[in-house]
Amino acid sequence: MVVGFAEDSSNTAAVVIAVFLVLAALLLVALWVAAFVSVLRQDRLTGGGKLLWLVVIIAFPFLGSIGWFAFGRTARLVNRL
């Protein structure tokens, strides 16, 4: 009986970890897609500025996306009309 309980606990822990990892991966993908779309929709950036941010977001999905939302929206690479 005790052995059966120990096996159930390890299976439960494995399921909880798997669910956590899947949720974290989905959140990372959502953050990446949101940053990608946000860069493409930004009117203030030039084509080169958008390309630079997209390269950063693709190369560093988590840090690039966080960097875009923290610093990229006020970037100096602006399109002068």
How far apart are the C-alpha atoms of 61 and 67, rounded to whole Å?
10
pLDDT one-digit tens code per residue, 59-81: 998 999 999 999 877 766 555 65
pLDDT of residue 1: 45
Between the alpha carbon of residue 28 and those of residues 19, 46, 55, 64, 66, the distances in Å are 14, 26, 17, 11, 10
pLDDT > 70? residue 56: yes
pLDDT of residue 48: 87
pLDDT one-digit tens code per residue, 1-44: 445 544 566 788 889 999 999 999 999 999 999 999 999 998 88
